[in-house]
Structure 1
């Protein structure tokens, strides 16, 4: 059965006949001469007129195409393809309350530590302790030559004895003069001179007593003693050394307890629960875990680290295993805080001194400035800049720029 002829099929055969007829005319017609630039082209005008039927037919046939005028409408929006967009992995912002503890690093120091120095000059005649020796309060560490100090004490004592005699003599003379003036034997001026002489003798005796006490102190200081019970860690002198006042003699430490110092941010300092104990992990002790009480959280920032010092005390049983300078991983107990937007730390990057994240909205990466708060493990709270449910990039963000098209995939949990 023959197919029915449609408008489009009739128009197609008619346009072909008109096109072949126009080609034959152009082949048989002689080529026009080249005209001057300003002269009108009659040949071109004739050619254009001769093609009017063909052009009209093509226009008419165009109306027969499926869809009519709608087929010439603007193309649809371009679809993102892997070649034009960056593949990234995203997670949703969730709200959680980070509580329990925060991790910082702390360093062990002795509960007490002192560098004992010589308070007087002299030659070392005896060293009573060696490094590592245990000492008690008042134990002898080093003894200096005492002979010169002993002579100074004897000289000061003799001077004081002489001054005491002067005081007694002037007092006797003053009282005798009081009796004589009552009988009008001496004048008032003589009595005043005797009174001043007695007062001068009393003052000189006071100065003599002070000089004697200084000499006696210098004699005692020739024996350098331990200021507290502990261990003589370092002895800086040998017998025969000459010391001047202030020369270091020994380093004494007290590990009956231990201190551990760590630093926290201002935000964390306000959240530490000082009523609970901190957990301390020591890699140098094979990963042993100890516990200590939080003694203080400073209100003054340490200028060297920019953090606020936290001091933790450990009791004697644990301190016996520790040494100065040991590093511990400290878990500080925090008070519970209201839930806030939380994201992985891998979503953060720094640009122009600001912490930022990339969020994804309608397959477009948007850079946002954020302010973070407390952290725990690999997650951190966002105090400002994000809301619950937003999508943040956690993988591929370093290849992004603000406004870049992306193909987002959920990150593995």
Structure 2
């Protein structure tokens, strides 16, 4: 009966092995804990406190400060054209010449008439002086003296008329030399050399446009009237002109005036600004976008406009916390201009807000900051080059 204890030992050993294998199987079947999600890469920027300019924006048209159609003032043959089309001229520069010979002859004739009348006057004065001596001696009558005195006055009047005729002939002669009345740029020549021109010709000789300075007339909504008036009361108001893309600046000037009435058709006020235009980027007839500086708000909390998101309850941003997570924070804005948002409530200096990657975020999400992309290098563009 020694077999019985041995069997019992085998049963105990087998049970222990089975129990151990059960523990191992249970451990193998137990679920493993999930790894945390990777942080979300975003770009963030610090909240700034800065001065924010307040602009009024409108669309305007460039106008020449002066436009003159040069016309001839006497009739004759156009013997010489001095200017070139598109040339910059200064006031007083010679543009063209009309045949001077008829006018020089008229001037010489007027001077000759004056010389004749001066000779007659001298003779009349001599006779008058003689009569003055003879009348007291009763060698001549008083009537003869009075007649001679009237004759002297007549010749003096004739000489005055001769002087006026000489001045008029000189003016007519001067008109044969056509000069630029203003400084500016000439346009297309309207009359060719050799033509007969007249003072009453409608077309004129050439149009001169003054481009330095140049004016821009633009409109603002009538709601901006009080702001514009207040800005002008504080001093000169700066104006910036941009191309139609709204980015390329083509001039800086100052507001000259507000029109004396608001358009009842459009509800806008017309404003005129003057620009030095030294680089000639503003050309008459072109449309430009204009910004006028109405005011400057100081110490304003600002962030890039792309940081702001719109939700059912209003605007919000994602703020980066010290533990590299984000929180959703409601904000209110006082205005957005040129890609910058002015924050009225919700943020303070030193906060960091997410400006790229917000669509992947939820409150409490872990993030990793990545640097902003480098600005692309400037491209060289050749006008007229094939693409």
TM-score band w.r.t. shorter chain:
0.5 to 0.7
- CA–CA distance in structure 2, aligned partners of residues 286 and 116 of structure 1: 38
> Which residue of 1 is the match for residue 22 of structure 2?
none
Q: Secondary structure at the match of 2:55?
A: strand
Would you say the 8 A contact 1:292–1:314 is kept in 2?
Answer: yes
> Which residue of 2 is the match for residue 295 of structure 1?
256
How do 1:318-397 and structure 2 match up within 5 A?
Answer: 318=279, 320-334=280-294
Would you say the 8 A contact 2:57–2:220 is kept in 1?
Answer: no
- The reply on whether 1:280 has 2:203 as its aligned counterpart is no
Q: TM-score, normalised by structure 1?
A: 0.53
1:270: how far off? 4.4
> Which residue of 2 is the match for residue 312 of structure 1?
273
Would you say the 8 A contact 1:284–1:326 is kept in 2?
Answer: no
1:263: how far off? 3.9
- The reply on whether 1:155 has 2:109 as its aligned counterpart is yes
- The reply on whether 1:178 has 2:132 as its aligned counterpart is yes
1:209: how far off? 0.8
Q: Secondary structure at the match of 1:234?
A: coil
- The gaps in structure 2 that reach 5 residues or longer are 1-52, 298-334, 338-387
> Which residue of 2 is the match for residue 249 of structure 1?
205
Q: Secondary structure at the match of 2:278?
A: helix
Q: TM-score, normalised by structure 2?
A: 0.56
- CA–CA distance in structure 1, aligned partners of residues 267 and 198 of structure 2: 39
- CA–CA distance in structure 2, aligned partners of residues 171 and 305 of structure 1: 77
- CA–CA distance in structure 2, aligned partners of residues 312 and 215 of structure 1: 44
- The gaps in structure 1 that reach 5 residues or longer are 1-98, 338-375, 379-413
1:305 to 1:220, Cα distance in 2 relative to 1, 3 A: farther
Would you say the 8 A contact 1:234–1:252 is kept in 2?
Answer: no
1:306 to 1:165, Cα distance in 2 relative to 1, 3 A: farther
- The reply on whether 1:114 has 2:75 as its aligned counterpart is no
1:224: how far off? 0.8
1:312: how far off? 0.8
1:124: how far off? 0.9
How do 1:79-228 and structure 2 match up within 5 A?
Answer: 100-228=54-182
Would you say the 8 A contact 1:124–1:142 is kept in 2?
Answer: yes
1:284 to 1:189, Cα distance in 2 relative to 1, 3 A: farther
1:156: how far off? 0.9
1:145: how far off? 1.3
- CA–CA distance in structure 2, aligned partners of residues 304 and 146 of structure 1: 55
Q: Deviations over 1:129-181 (max 9, x none)?
A: 22112223322211111111111111111111111112222222222211112
1:113: how far off? 2.2
Would you say the 8 A contact 1:298–1:308 is kept in 2?
Answer: yes
Q: Deviations over 1:305-324 (max 9, x none)?
A: 88654221112435x21211
1:104: how far off? 2.2
Q: Secondary structure at the match of 1:156?
A: helix
Taking only aligned residues, the RMSD between alpha carbons, in angstroms, comes to 3.0
1:199 to 1:188, Cα distance in 2 relative to 1, 3 A: same
Would you say the 8 A contact 2:213–2:276 is kept in 1?
Answer: yes
- CA–CA distance in structure 1, aligned partners of residues 260 and 224 of structure 2: 12
1:155 to 1:262, Cα distance in 2 relative to 1, 3 A: same
- CA–CA distance in structure 2, aligned partners of residues 304 and 218 of structure 1: 50
1:285 to 1:197, Cα distance in 2 relative to 1, 3 A: farther
Would you say the 8 A contact 2:250–2:282 is kept in 1?
Answer: no
1:285 to 1:134, Cα distance in 2 relative to 1, 3 A: farther
Would you say the 8 A contact 2:96–2:177 is kept in 1?
Answer: yes
